[in-house]
Amino acid sequence: MSSRPESLFPLFASLETLEGIGPKTAQHFAQLHVQAPRDLLFTLPYSGIDRRLRKSVKDAQLPDTLTVAVKIGRHYPPRSKGGAYRIHVEDDETTFQLVFFHARGDFWQRQLPEGSRRIVSGRVELFDGIAQMVHPDFAVAEEEASEIPPFEPVYPLTHGITQKLMYKATRAALARVPAMDEWIDPGQVKKAGWPAFSVAVSQAHAPASLNDLSLDAPARARLAYDELFAHQMTLALARQVERRKKGRPSRATGALQDKVRASLSYALTGAQRRAVTQVTADMAADQRMNRLLQGDVGAGKTVVAFMALLAAVEAGGQGVLMAPTEILARQHLQGLQPLAETAGVVLEILTGRDKGAERQAKLSALARGDIQVLVGTHAVFQESVVFHDLRLAVVDEQHRFGVRQRLELGRKGVRADVLVMTATPIPRSLALAQYGDMDVSVLDEKPPGRKPIQTVLVSTERYDQVVDRLRAAIADGRQCYWVCPLVEESEVSDLTAAEARFKRLRATLGEGVVGLVHGQMPPAEKDAAMAAFQRGETQLLVATTVIEVGVDVPNASIMVIERAESFGLAQLHQLRGRVGRGSAASSCLLMYQAPLTDTGRQRLEVLRETEDGFAIAETDLKMRGTGDLIGTAQSGVPRFRVADLEKQAALMTIAQSDARKLLSDDPALKSERGKATRLLLWLMRQDEAIRLITVG
């Protein structure tokens, strides 16, 4: 199954095998991400032009595209060079003009002789009170009327590609669609009333009205489902390959967990207790756990993760907690040290900073099993790091750690269970697209005692008042953050913005009070500046967004976000979550540059109204669309050509259960439907999935 089925060869041939497409045009098509005839199938029209025949242009609301039968009248060649060539024509009820520029010789006399009848179709506009059709799109004899599509599809274009070319190319690609068996569950096809794939793709390219262009038109919904189903099959296969690798049952005794629970000054929330139960049940099973722990800022993910690590130790093994940066790893260490001491568990940290004898000592202790829980950065993945008996890997902040790396962990030969934590509340449809191969636990309650954060919108014109407020808070012994705007032009300008703001605030508030952190700093300097702030040596930290993930300074009670309108909602929510971690009342000032657009204001107001990260993420998705929301560059979310993740979230859910069920009924995809699904995976360029079938 490792080579493409022959029936699909014509669809994956070079574009130049289609009539009328040469090397240059093929390059233009690449701008639209069209590399092969197959890609044309999924480049659907986004609009359409109604070209049904009308009696007259007389009562039409102009300007409009109209199609009418006319009698050709008198020709008026241009009076001067480059002028307009006009032809008077008459339909059933009125007269108007056809207008052409750059007319050559007697071309139009021959094409549209006076007295002949033609059907013309094009945009009609009023000019000096006279209706004119400039350069008709069609002007054909009545017996050739069928050449004019009653409803003409309008395609996305790019430089060098015209509608006519696109129309011709898509038709040529459609002619290459082979006969294919059905890969969707027959019950689903029937219930949704979907046509077969070949019918759906033809209908989607030949809409009969605007209704046929809507997402829920049967042909389009079917094609969207095909995309989502192929994607979910890939994730389900990855999940199956993971699960087929025998896990090792790690049965918790609960002894260490009970000690820690008893020492906490608060009770776990219902959501935390539920997540701990799900995780320990997964760990006790003999399949590998692959679970996502999703929780809002401050929902208490770390405690759940630590309970899971204790379960690994109770079962006689080791656990590792991996953070994306050294600073976060050290912070986890600080937070967990007291809990580990309560439980009598040996906790150690390993980062790139450990060198020489000290590093060697840690590695030996790890290999002997003397270190029971290790906290670290990705450095724990290096060849030289060997565990005595690793049972659980907890990965913090998923989006730096995609499906690929999850598979890596397995390739290291470690049959450890995997728990991934993310503090980014992700709308359900996106969670399915990104983490469809995982089981999900959600922490949707805040631990008691968390004070709400007051969120205020402030115009940048009130800069001085904001600085006065910071001065008062600092005098009161509090700490504050000042996040600088995202500057689009280049990395350098983000840096200049941050440095300029730092210098100005330092001049106002005094030397030694203000620290600076930005993405361009060497890691050691960045860590030093953060550490100084954590220790309370600096009171105000000026930063670019590097601080959004996980940094914990309980004494920080004010967060200023400059030019808040330039950030995404989810990101603003993450940044706001950096304050309100201690006992003091906290506030977040969203500084915006007036005037705000309506959507800009709407977005910032959502933040003022709610602290529920999931509600914020859903709003963000509705307002900005998938691509922007996640910053497609760093996301694990695929680009769909037909499917719309926001509006077709329900289809994604069906696709996931359909894919998982098909694989549990037919793990090797050998049945008729299984074979059809293999073809779909090839058609949808799901090469990763095909590799997994081959591996599996």
pLDDT band (50, 70, 90) for residue 421: confident
User: What global pTM score does this model have?
Assistant: 0.64
Given strand 390-396, what is the order of strands in its sheet?
A: 347-350, 373-376, 318-322, 390-396, 417-422, 290-295, 439-443
Residue 550 has pLDDT above 90, yes or no: no
Residue 630 has pLDDT above 50, yes or no: no
Highest mean pLDDT among 21-30, 88-97, 195-204, 624-633: 195-204
Element (DSSP H or E) covering residue 272: helix 270-284
Residue 499 has pLDDT above 60, yes or no: yes
Give, in degrees to the nearest 5, the angle at Cα 93 between 88 and 94: 30
Which pLDDT score, from 0 to 100, does residue 547 have? 64
pLDDT band (50, 70, 90) for residue 632: very low
Q: What is the pLDDT of residues 147-164, one digit of tens each?
A: 888 898 999 888 888 888
Element (DSSP H or E) covering residue 121: strand 117-127
Residue 639 has pLDDT above 80, yes or no: no
Cα gap 65→148, rounded to integer Å: 13
Average pLDDT, stretch 108-126? 90
Which pLDDT score, from 0 to 100, does residue 622 have? 67
Cα gap 574→549, rounded to integer Å: 7
Q: What is the pLDDT of residues 280-313, one digit of tens each?
A: 999 998 888 888 898 876 678 889 999 999 999 9
Q: What is the pLDDT of residues 392-420, one digit of tens each?
A: 989 886 545 555 555 555 555 467 888 98
Cα gap 96→87, rounded to integer Å: 9
DSSP secondary structure string for all residues of 33-57: T--SHHHHHT---SEEEE--EES-S
pLDDT band (50, 70, 90) for residue 106: confident
Which pLDDT score, from 0 to 100, does residue 636 have? 47
pLDDT band (50, 70, 90) for residue 275: very high
Cα gap 252→255, rounded to integer Å: 8
Cα gap 180→168, rounded to integer Å: 23
Q: Is 254 left (phi over 0), alpha (psi -120 to 50) or beta?
A: left
CATH code reported for the domain at 453-610 = 3.40.50.300
Torsion angle (degrees, nearest 10) of CA 64, 137, 220, 18:
-170
Nearest to 530 by CA among 329, 351, 376: 329
Residue 175 has pLDDT above 90, yes or no: yes
Helices (H), 83-162: 107-111
With respect to CATH, is domain 255-443 assigned 3.40.50.300? yes
Which pLDDT score, from 0 to 100, does residue 396 have? 83
CB 590 within 8 A of CB 455: yes
Q: Which residues contact 553 (CB under 8 A, 6 or more apart)?
A: 479, 533, 534, 578, 581
Mapped onto helix, strand or coil, the DSSP state of residue 643 is coil
CB 364 within 8 A of CB 387: no
Beta-strand runs (E) in 518-624: 540-543, 556-561, 586-592
The backbone torsions φ and ψ at residue 675, rounded to the nearest 5 degrees and listed phi first, read -65, -40
Q: Which residues contact 148 (CB under 8 A, 6 or more apart)?
A: 51, 67, 119, 121, 138, 140
Which pLDDT score, from 0 to 100, does residue 626 have? 46
Highest mean pLDDT among 97-101, 484-488, 634-638: 97-101
Cα gap 642→33, rounded to integer Å: 13
Which pLDDT score, from 0 to 100, does residue 323 have? 85
Which pLDDT score, from 0 to 100, does residue 635 have? 41
Which pLDDT score, from 0 to 100, does residue 531 have? 82
Higher pLDDT, 509 or 434: 509
Higher pLDDT, 612 or 167: 167
Give, in degrees to the nearest 5, the angle at Cα 575 between 569 and 579: 135
Nearest to 304 by CA among 342, 264, 344, 331: 264
Task: Count CB atoms within 10 A of the CB of residue 155.
Answer: 20
Which class is domain 52-148? mainly beta
CB 439 within 8 A of CB 291: yes
Which pLDDT score, from 0 to 100, does residue 633 have? 33
Which pLDDT score, from 0 to 100, does residue 634 have? 36
Helices (H), 636-671: 649-665
Nearest to 372 by CA among 395, 401, 339, 328: 339
Cα gap 611→601, rounded to integer Å: 17
Residue ranges covered by each domain of the chain = 6-48+156-214, 52-148, 255-443, 453-610
Task: Count CB atoms within 10 A of the CB of residue 572.
Answer: 25
Q: What is the pLDDT of residues 587-627, one digit of tens each?
A: 999 999 888 888 788 888 888 888 777 777 777 766 655 44
- Residue for token pair 């996040």: 483
Which pLDDT score, from 0 to 100, does residue 561 have? 92
Which pLDDT score, from 0 to 100, does residue 375 have? 94
Distance of CA 53 to the CA centre of its chain: 44
Residue 515 has pLDDT above 60, yes or no: yes
pLDDT band (50, 70, 90) for residue 487: low
Point out the least confidently predicted range of 120-129, 346-355, 477-486, 619-628: 619-628
Average pLDDT, stretch 426-441? 71
- Percent pLDDT > 90 in the chain is 38
Q: What is the pLDDT of residues 181-225, one digit of tens each?
A: 999 999 999 999 999 999 999 999 999 888 899 888 999 999 999
Point out the least confidently predicted range of 371-375, 430-434, 506-510: 430-434
Give, in degrees to the nearest 5, the angle at Cα 595 between 590 and 598: 85
In the predicted model, what is the mean pLDDT of the chain? Answer: 84
CB 538 within 8 A of CB 512: yes
First to last CA, the chain: 11
Cα gap 459→466, rounded to integer Å: 10
Q: Which residues contact 695 (CB under 8 A, 6 or more apart)?
A: 241
Based on the number of CB atoms within 10 Å of its own CB, is 452 exposed (0-12), middle (13-18) or buried (19 or more)?
Answer: exposed
Residue 465 has pLDDT above 50, yes or no: yes
Show the tokens assigned to 202: 């033809």
Q: Which residues does residue 132 pair with via DSSP β-bridges, in sequence order? A: 97, 125
Which pLDDT score, from 0 to 100, does residue 405 have? 58
Q: Which residues does residue 320 pair with via DSSP β-bridges, in sequence order? A: 374, 393
- How long a stretch of residues is the chain? 696
Average pLDDT, stretch 231-242? 83
**Which long-range contacts link 592-601 to residues 24+ away (Cβ below 8 Å)?**
592/457, 592/458, 592/459, 592/460, 592/563, 592/564, 592/565, 593/459, 593/460, 593/563, 593/565, 594/459, 594/460, 594/461, 596/565, 597/565, 599/623, 600/565
Is 255-443 the same fold as 52-148?
no
Average pLDDT, stretch 97-120? 88
Average pLDDT, stretch 254-267? 89
Q: Which residues contact 633 (CB under 8 A, 6 or more apart)?
A: none
